Amino acid sequence: MSDARRLQIEKLNKFYGPVHAVKDLSITVEPGEFLVLLGPSGCGKTTALRMVAGLETVSAGSIRLGDDDVTHVLPKYRDVAMVFQSYALYPHKTVAENIGFPLKVRGVSPAERDAAVRDAAGQVHMETYLDRYPRQLSGGQRQRVALARAIVRRPSAFLMDEPLSNLDAKLRGHMRAELKHMQHELGVTTIYVTHDQIEAMTLAHRVAIMSDGVLQQLGPPREVYNNPANLFVAGFMGSPPMNFVHGEINNGRFRSDGVDLALSDANAPSGAAVLGFRPEDAAVGPAGEGRFDGGVYASELTGDQTLVTVALGDETTLAVKMPKDYETEYDSVVSVQFPANSAFLFDADSGARLSTGLKG
Amino acid sequence: MEQHQRRSLLTRLFEPPSIGVMAPGTSLIVYGLLAFWTAFVLFPIYWVLITSFKDALTVNTGPFYLPWVDFKPGLHAWRELFQIDYEDTLSAFLNSIIIALASTALCVLVGSMAAYALARMEYRPKFGLIFLFVLIMVGAAAAVGFLGQDWRLAFAVALALFVLLARAVGRYFKRAVGNGDILFWMISQRILPPVVTVVPVYMMFQAVGLLDTHAALIIAYAVVNLPIVVWLMHDFFATIPIDLEESAQLDGASRLTTFFEIVLPLAKTGLAATTLLTLILAWNEYLLAIFLSTTRAQTMPILVAAMNAGERGILWWNMSVVIIVMIIPVVLMAIVLQRFISKGILVGAVKG
């Protein structure tokens, strides 16, 4: 399949009365690319997707699919297929009728439709359920039918609105892999909305992270993870998320309660700042041998590793991932160590990443 | 064991043997009450049935309750209506069927589409424009009534005037009404007692020359029942998950296809109930029928009433025959539609 098309979103805006739900969103999704829109609920990602689908009007900006401007085109003429969080299967139609519905309304002949339905059902391993009704299917099977209905007419783009969030955890992992495989096979331009960063990391060619209607960062998952553009992205990605120490930059040093570290840029502008580092990049050791010391607040064995929580002052707790055989005493004083190149500094007010890092 | 023996008969009668099972005494009372209520409800039907086999003497010297025991049943009333007067009976019966079915079909089709629009689309008509429209139309009516203008001309001018004014000053009006207000306005059409509107309705049908036709009653019933259909169907449509309709639109269906392929089948429970109600209302309607029909479009209720006023006095036996004939189609329709009034249509639509 090679009729995948480029999807260009430019300066997209959405107002609900005084509420500015999506602000100047510009993303270009390349043909065949799997783009994940990631963000907490209420960040505008679903609204953005619904505008691309044509289910919401566009307040300002434009949407282009291939060479066509579809900004004000009715959904039925957009040639995009959507998978809903709720599956949205037609309860009074059988699986075959559900999958064949997009072809039926386009006037495809019954014989041709039947072949296409069998083909699509085969792609999602549902060919033996064609005569069932949605109520006779499990959650995972319903999800497959919804997918088959989306792929049956070979759309120019797929839109998926949290399609896996109604499945239980085990099934979700399985469907995630299938979804990735299917998108790769079909090579359809896809926008996938989720609040689950694991889904975003595993599925996406590129991730677009949104907050309060604003695009925070757009890039491959690895880059977004390793090189967060701001405090929000750093705090949203990762499980547990990045550790933050609030403090101040003064005379080329970062200072906080019990923390005093030299910066790589001795002339860094002074002001409130936040130091961030990831749990897996850090290690705890004997007191006095790391970047700063703290008290052991909790130690949890999760199976493949031990998660140590270190208290720094009264308000800050930091998570550190240690090997599974690591053991420590509660309330004992330990040091926290991490390499300079995995430490990030952010402006405390704007959240923007600072150009300086830690020294050595 | 001894204690068990000593419990009074009353206690044993009214103590349930286990949860979910009625004690013998309780069930006796419950079924007794139910039997009484059944008899109470069914008695009028029974009475009508036996009256239809009585003759004038039996009715007037009665009451007699049991055929063959109290009185000798005869078929003379049935014979009178189906052999001697069969043309009148048949014509009224056919009129009733045509008018009830046609008006119900029209009413349910238009009403459910209006209800769907009110459930799914947002309307914000400006308050000022509605006021302007009413004002201009009243002016046009006055021109026709007092100045003797031709009504076609008057209303065409009024409409043109309204469109021009609306375009010119429409944007200065700020206050608007919403879907809820429209819905309430719809049902408010039924607040007025129908008898108040009968004379103007009569005059309107007279003006367009439709008196004593099927069309007059079909239109009148459809309009009168429309608010009920809109009101009821609006509630049924509102319960359908909007995801299904959005999905249909993305699948390439038009609004109309979505309505007929997705929405209506899912609302068939409500549709069946609403259809039945509308049908019964149209079937039993008397007031409009007596004003708008004289002979050709006469319906069954009129036929029943006519037996009340002849020079032969009240013909209870004939009336009973007509009532039985009237009940049968409604019961049949109810049995047919009953099958659609089942629960659980939406199971499996969205997340389970």
CATH of A240-347, one of 2.40.160.20, 3.40.50.280, 2.40.50.140, 1.20.1440.230: 2.40.50.140
CATH architecture of B85-122+210-338: Orthogonal Bundle (1.10)
pLDDT score, position B269: 84
Report the distance separating Cα A109 and Cα A34, nearest Å: 32
* Beta-carbon contacts below 8 Å between A and B: 90
Average pLDDT over residues A53-80: 91
From A112, A191, A203, select the one nearest A150 (Cα to Cα): A191
pTM beyond 0.90: no
Name A302's Cβ contacts closer than 8 Å, sequence gap at least 6. Answer: none
> What local confidence, expressed as pLDDT, does residue B6 receive?
66
Q: Which of A92, A106, A133 sits opposite B265 (nearest CB)?
A: A92
CA angle A224, A230, A234 (to 5 degrees): 55
pLDDT digit string, tens, across residues A300-336: 998 899 999 999 888 889 999 999 888 888 889 999 9
Say what the pLDDT of residue A1 is.
Answer: 41
Choosing among 3.30.565.10, 3.40.50.300, 3.40.50.1700, 3.30.70.120, the CATH entry for A7-234 is: 3.40.50.300
What pLDDT shows up at residue B4? 55
- By C-alpha distance, the chain A residue nearest B351 is A86
Pairwise CB contact (< 8 Å): A149 & B251: yes
Neighbours of B182 (CB within 10 A): 15
Residue of higher predicted confidence among B73 and A62: A62
Contact yes or no for A240/A307 (Cβ under 8 A)? yes
User: Do A84 and B246 lie within an 8 Å CB cutoff?
Assistant: yes
Q: Where exactly are the structural domains of chain B?
A: 1-51, 54-80, 85-122+210-338
Is residue A22 within 8 A of residue A12, CB to CB? The reply is yes
B180 contact A CB<8A: no
Cα separation, A26 vs A29, in Å, equals 10
For residue B5, the model assigns a pLDDT of 58
Over the stretch A226-250, which tens digit does the pLDDT of each residue have? 999 999 999 998 888 899 999 999 8
Q: What is the pLDDT of residues A278-309, one digit of tens each?
A: 999 999 999 888 899 999 999 999 889 999 99
**What radius of gyration do chain A's Cα atoms show?**
24
Q: Name, in order, each residue with C-beta under 8 angstroms of A172's C-beta and a sequence gap of 6 or more.
A: A164, A165
pLDDT, average across residues A88-107: 93
Helix (H, G, I), strand (E, B) or coil at B288: helix
Asked if the Cβ–Cβ distance from A142 to B348 is below 8 Å, we say yes
Residues of A near B (Cβ–Cβ under 8 Å) read: 53-55, 74-76, 78, 80-82, 84-92, 101-102, 105-106, 133-137, 139, 142, 149, 153, 166
CA distance A65 to chain B (A): 15
As a whole number of angstroms, the distance between CA B239 and CA B299 comes to 37
What band does A353 get if pLDDT is binned at 50, 70 and 90?
A: very high
A54 to chain B: nearest residue by CA? B250
Residue B343 is predicted with a pLDDT of 54
ipTM over 0.95: no
On chain B, the residues whose CB falls within 8 A of the CB of A135 are 344, 347-348, 352
User: Where in chain A are the domains?
Assistant: 7-234, 240-347
Residues of chain B where predicted confidence (pLDDT) is lower than 50: 1-2, 344, 351-352
Q: How many CB atoms lie within 10 A of CB A34?
A: 23
Cβ-Cβ contacts under 8 Å, A113 against chain B = none
- Phi, psi torsion values for B293, nearest 5 degrees: -125, 145
Is B261 an interface residue toward A (CB < 8 Å)? Answer: yes
How far B106 CA lies from chain A's nearest CA (Å)? Answer: 25
Q: What average pLDDT does chain A have?
A: 90
Smallest CA–CA distance, residue B352 to chain A, in Å, is 6
Q: Is the pLDDT of residue A99 over 80?
A: yes
H or E element, residue A82: strand A80-83
Q: What is the pLDDT of residue B352?
A: 39
| A351 dihedral zone (left: phi>0; alpha: psi -120 to 50; beta) | left
Contact B281, B292 (CB under 8 A): no
- A86/B261 touch (CB, cutoff 8 Å), yes or no: no
Quick one: which of B130, B131, B150 has its CA closest to B140? B150
Contacts B262 to A, Cβ<8 Å: 90
Mutation target to probe the A interface, by most A beta carbons within 10 A, among B245, B256, B266, B351 is: B351
Chain A hits for B257, CB-CB cut-off 8 Å, are: 105
Task: Report residue B88: phi and psi, to 5°.
Answer: -60, -45
Which single residue is written with the structure tokens 């749990």?
A: A279
